[in-house]
Amino acid sequence: MHQGAPSQLILSVYVLTFLTGLPCNLLAFYAFLVKVRQRPTPVDIILLNLTISDLILLMFLPFKMDEAASNMQWRLPQFLCPLTGFCYYSSIYLSTMFLTAVSVERYLGVAYPIKYKLNRKPGYAIIASVVIWILACANCSIVYIVQNGLPPNETLSKNATFSCYENFTAEQLKILLPVRLELGLLLFFVPFIITTYCYVNFIRILTSLPNIQAKRKKRAIGLAAATLTNFIMCFFPYNISHIVGFVQNKSPEWRVYALLLTTFNASLDPIVFYFSSSAVQRMVCECFKGVTQKLKALCPCNMSSPSPCEVSGKDYSMDLSLT
């Protein structure tokens, strides 16, 4: 058993995240891909990379589902264990850093509008994205070092099935606990502080401007709230467990529940996508209109009320972008 956590609970969270996150992220991926091909902006490039990291997590989530359905025993080919763990943990810190990059982009856009507009080049976003991928993947390669580079844990050596990346030996923990602490401090707490600073000042500046529409201000608050909720709910408990584990010289028993919360990130990121990008907003509106038209065809009753994407006869989705 996964440190006392019910495997049914773990499986339920995985299934819920997969069913809600996959269609939303695929929709966002298509919207960002079309936008980047037509007229790329820094925020769209960053969000496209964030979507890709979420889709990688969702692609490997069925392997975690099989593990949970097998009472937390790994029955799949052994090479998939470190690969799945690597993708799973990398997605956590890819998300924190890409969300931080979005917050910095938004803050610079309102704090230094003229200077930022003159220097707003997609190439900078591409360079930042490459650096983020390298940082996250290099740090999370510890999964391979612990799983393959050190003596195996007891479960792996005695059984055909084994606990994947769990039940660590004292020698493994000597390597793992300091690395976890470094991950939490460098790739979570630093981005969290930067993100909080950027969004607090982003909202402060935006709300103080008299010529900004109330709807735009509400969208700015929605973006900040969605991002900070993602940080606090999905990532904060898990990274606190790194500090507690380092102090106690062992993995805390509640760490599994904190890790489980990080999975919801793949379902919450699309909310950030919606508030951040007019491309996603248009895509959502088009889907809504398509569903409404099909319902009108099936139902003879009067459904002539305007959709949320229409205001005064015009397409509201075209006017939702924060920039």
pLDDT in tens, 175-219: 899 999 999 999 999 999 999 999 999 999 988 888 878 888 888
Question: In angstroms, rounded to a whole number, what is the distance separating the alpha carbons of residues 111 and 197?
Answer: 12
- The DSSP string of 134-183 is HHHHHHHTHHHHHHHSSPPPHHHHH-SSB-TT-S--HHHHHHHHHHHHHH
Q: How far is CA 115 from CA 16, 109, 198, 283, in A?
A: 44, 9, 17, 31
CATH topology for 7-276 is Rhopdopsin 7-helix transmembrane proteins (1.20.1070)
Indicate the SS3 state at residue 95.
helix
Residue-range domain boundaries for the chain:
7-276
For residue 71, give both structure tokens: 């009472």
Bridge-partner residues for 74, per DSSP? 162
> Left if phi > 0, otherwise alpha if psi is -120 to 50, otherwise beta: which for 38?
alpha
Ramachandran angles phi, psi of 119, nearest 5°: -110, 15
Q: What is the pLDDT of residues 223-271, one digit of tens each?
A: 999 999 999 999 999 999 999 999 999 999 899 999 999 999 999 998 8
Tell me the angle at which helices 170-184 and 122-140 cross, rounded to the nearest 10 degrees: 160
Q: Indicate the pTM of the whole model.
A: 0.86
